[in-house]
Structure 1
């Protein structure tokens, strides 16, 4: 299996090969808009480095320009992506430019890891390590302050906070979540994460979870966009257990199979990394694509409360036919 690692770069910066627009506030739209913008920026940046006569496939005909004819040539996929073993980076990453401007101790770094429903549960320990390693390498830090884990099938929705809390109690899979948490605890023990957190755990789910884990979460992040308030029982439980309640606007369905194929496939909105499955002569990677995980990271300068670096990585497996 080939693994694809997608990256947005720093979406609050405006340097070369960094997206020009931050996208929407909802995480799934922010992710897809940021990835698409970063792919285009990389295609343009690496095209500028390729001499017209170097046999790269660029020529003087109209295919060297965007469809409206107003933009310069785009680099071929092989120029703006990079393969290392069985991993393909989309786009390629210049790690020499990675890192924060100040010492790591000056930042509050929060990471949120989304496990996707399309990926095997048995591989979550590997996914967690892969995702965190990429963030640490991107920010050039030895650890992060808070890692929040988002499990698939979890939400906090209902006509009121009481209804949302009731429905939440039967969502997800307790056994799978506990088994995954063991791998997350190991990241804490190894000194890579200071604090651990979870997302979308209502009162009953949280109470059951706390009875079975060794390292308790210090934060519980919930989305109350369809409710008026946090349920009083959840407030009491969190207070009693010393857990901070955080509000967010993320969606658990952050990267679907169809969205990923649209980003990487041929067509007006695609990057051309994947071949057209309906065209045997189409160039690009062929096979079955499986979204595995998405990680969002944010580095805030503690003294100034300014976001210096924010971005996403996403992973997908490609099984060739």
Structure 2
């Protein structure tokens, strides 16, 4: 078993081509394009460094001077393994961190729990996602963490239908259990505020009856509706919950997209073997576990200084 940690780096530095434009560019496209850009940049940078005598040319692969026969550098050149974890691509932690004092930033994290990952491992997912974000930004806490649970959506011909359908979605028990894990981190001071996503009126009512720490924020995606349902607006106001709309995808990293991204195809990174018994790539099924999106907003200047994603997946050997 290998755990793969993918990272985009700071997507703000890559220019407007991959910065999401509200209403037109959703998080799944931003994530996929940003990962491709970061992987491609790492392949070029590390292959050039190794080719120019930095002492690791032997990692370049057997089918070419600095890569496979298709022109890609071998994964050993631009990825990094720590125990059973493979970082795709390598992360330069020495250049991580924010430019100004921590008090100048509003740091928001949205953690997507993916549908085929086992819910019983969510404590590990939360800890790992927060560890990576805090290390990347050089901070000890985040201002807001929004939990996005699988199986939830806000879709319908109108806001009333979307609200009605939402009441039967997801898994209340799993969501409340996961929230309890986040509450502990909230009480430890690692997270200053907690939020949820895609909770309609009835779903939110049931949730509030079972949790101790009230969500400060509820995000809903109304792209397929017209407006926020009035009952939801009323409930949020009564409970002191900020109600925001968003354009994030509810299916941010499907298995097929991840396999295409890491596989041997023309747009793949060459990390997976893709069924080739002679390949040195990772073999077996790949299971996306979670995605975390983070933003560091400079309050006094009104700009986002750092924005990016981490994602985790696990390979399982086929028996």
Residue 2, structure 1, aligned to residue 39, structure 2: no
Q: Shift in Å at residue 251 of structure 1? A: 1.1
Shift of 1:89: 0.4
Aligned equivalents of 2:28 and 2:64: distance in 1? 37
Distance in structure 1 (CA, Å) of the matches to 2:75 and 2:124: 28
CA RMSD of aligned residues (A): 2.0
Aligned to 1:138: 136
Q: Can you list the C-alpha shifts for 1:37-71, whole angstroms capped at 9, x where unaligned? A: 1100000000110136744446997986997xxxx
1:145–1:195 contact (8 Å) kept in structure 2: yes
Cα pair distance change 1:59/1:275, threshold 3 Å: closer
Displacement, 1:320? 2.6
1:45 aligns with 2:48: no
Q: Distance in 2 between matches of 1:217 and 1:127?
A: 20
What 5-or-longer segments of structure 2 have no aligned partner? none
CA contact (8 A) 1:2 1:317 kept: yes
Secondary structure of 2:18's counterpart equals coil
Change (3 A) 1:60 1:111: closer
**How far apart are 1:126 and its partner, in Å?**
1.1
Residues 9-24 of structure 1 aligned to structure 2 (within 5 Å)? 9-14=9-14, 21-22=17-18
Number of equivalent positions: 311
TM-score of the two chains, using structure 1 as the length reference: 0.92
Partner of 1:32: 32
Cα distance in 2 between the residues matched to 1:95 and 1:103: 18
Give 3-state SS (helix, strand or coil) of 1:251's partner: coil
1:289–1:317 CA contact under 8 A, matched in 2: yes
CA distance in 2, matches of 1:55, 1:122: 41
Which residue is 1:303 aligned to?
300
Cα offset, 1:96, TM superposition? 0.5
Distance in 1 between residues matched to 2:212 and 2:88, nearest whole Å: 37
Return closer, same or farther for 1:208/1:113 CA change in 2, 3 Å cut-off: same
**Contact 2:284/2:316, CA 8 A, preserved across alignment:** yes
Secondary structure of the corresponding residue to residue 155 of structure 1: coil
Alignment of 1:149-164 (within 5 A): 149-164=147-162
Aligned residue in 2 for 1:70: none
SS of the aligned residue for 2:185 comes to helix
**Mapping of 1:118-137 within 5 angstroms?**
118-137=116-135
| Structure 1: runs of 5 or more not aligned | 68-72
How far did residue 227 of structure 1 move? 1.1
Match of 2:280 among 269, 279, 283: 283
- The alignment status of 1:211 with 2:224, answered yes or no, reads no
More helix by percentage: 2
Q: 1:190-246 deviations in whole A, cap 9, x for unaligned?
A: 111100000000000000000000111000000011111101100010000000001
Return closer, same or farther for 1:60/1:186 CA change in 2, 3 Å cut-off.
Answer: closer
Q: What is aligned with 1:93?
A: 91
Q: CA deviation at 1:282?
A: 2.4
Q: Which aligned segments of 4 or more residues in structure 1 are displaced greater than 3 angstroms? A: 52-67
Contact 1:82 1:90 in 2 (8 A): yes
The answer as to whether partners of 1:52 and 1:58 remain within 8 angstroms in 2 is no
Aligned pairs (5 A) from 1:215-230: 215-230=213-228
Structure 1 residue 194 corresponds to structure 2 residue 192: yes
Q: Given the superposition, is the C-alpha separation of residues 3 and 65 from structure 1 closer, same or farther in structure 2, using an over 3 Å criterion? A: closer
- The secondary structure found in structure 2 opposite 1:50 is helix
Judged with a 3 Å threshold, the aligned counterparts in structure 2 of structure 1 residues 285 and 181 are, in CA distance, closer, same or farther, namely: same
Say if 1:20 and 1:37, in contact at 8 Å, map to a contact too. Answer: no
